[in-house]
A and B are shown apart, each in its own frame.
Chain A
Amino acid sequence: MTEEKEWPLWEVFIRSKAGLDHKHCGSVHASDAEMAMESARDVYTRRSEGISIWVVPSNAITASKPEDKESLFEPADDKIYRHPTFYDIPQGAGKM
Chain B
Amino acid sequence: MYGDTSIQKPIEIAEPTSEEQARLEVIFQQKIDDNIKIEPQEWMPDAYRKTLVRQMSQHAHSEVIGMQPEGNWITRAPSLRRKVILLAKIQDEGGHGLYIYSSAETLGTSRAEMIEQLQTGKAKYSSIFNYPALSWADMGTIGWLVDGAAITNQVALSRCSYGPYSRAMIRICKEESFHQRQGYELLLTLSRGSDEQKELLQESVNRFWWPSLMMFGPNDSDSPHSAQSMKWKIKRKSNDQLRQEFVDATVPQADFLGITLPDPDLKWNEESGHYDYGEIDWEEFGNVIHGNGPCNKQRIANHIKAHEDGAWVREAAAAYAEKQQNKQVA
**Residues of chain A at the chain B interface (Cβ within 8 Å):** 1-2, 4-7, 9, 25-29, 31-32, 35, 42-43, 46-47, 63, 65-66
| Min CB–CB distance B330 → chain A (angstroms) | 17
- A35 & B103 in contact (Cβ 8 Å cutoff): no
| Min CB–CB distance B171 → chain A (angstroms) | 8
- Tell me the dominant secondary structure on chain A's binding face: loop
- B318 & A31 in contact (Cβ 8 Å cutoff): yes
Q: List 27 A-B contacts (CB under 8 A).
A: A1-B116, A1-B308, A4-B311, A4-B314, A6-B111, A7-B318, A25-B171, A26-B102, A26-B168, A27-B102, A27-B105, A28-B98, A28-B102, A29-B111, A31-B321, A32-B320, A32-B324, A35-B317, A42-B91, A42-B95, A46-B88, A46-B91, A46-B95, A47-B175, A63-B41, A65-B41, A66-B42
Whether, in the assembled complex, B110 has its beta carbon less than 8 Å from a beta carbon of chain A, the answer is yes
**Set of chain B residues within 8 Å of A7, measured between Cβ atoms:** 314, 317-318
Interface size grouping (class) on chain B: 20 to 34
| Min CB–CB distance B311 → chain A (angstroms) | 6
Q: Give the number of A-B contacts (CB < 8 Å).
A: 56
How many angstroms between the C-alpha atoms of A26 and B102 in the bound complex?
A: 7
- B43 & A26 in contact (Cβ 8 Å cutoff): no
Between B43, B105, B168, the greatest number of chain A beta carbons within 10 A of the residue's beta carbon is seen for B105
Q: Mark B121-162, 1 if CB is under 8 A from A, else 0.
A: 000000000000000000000000000000000000000000
**Set of chain A residues within 8 Å of B175, measured between Cβ atoms:** 46-47
Between A25, A27, A28, A66, the greatest number of chain B beta carbons within 10 A of the residue's beta carbon is seen for A27
- B112 & A6 in contact (Cβ 8 Å cutoff): yes
Q: Mark B72-100, 1 if CB is under 8 A from A, else 0.
A: 00000000000000001001100100110
| Min CB–CB distance A17 → chain B (angstroms) | 17
| Min CB–CB distance B319 → chain A (angstroms) | 9
**Set of chain B residues within 8 Å of A31, measured between Cβ atoms:** 314, 317-318, 320-321
| Min CB–CB distance A23 → chain B (angstroms) | 11
How many angstroms between the C-alpha atoms of A18 and B201 in the bound complex?
A: 46
- A43 & B98 in contact (Cβ 8 Å cutoff): yes
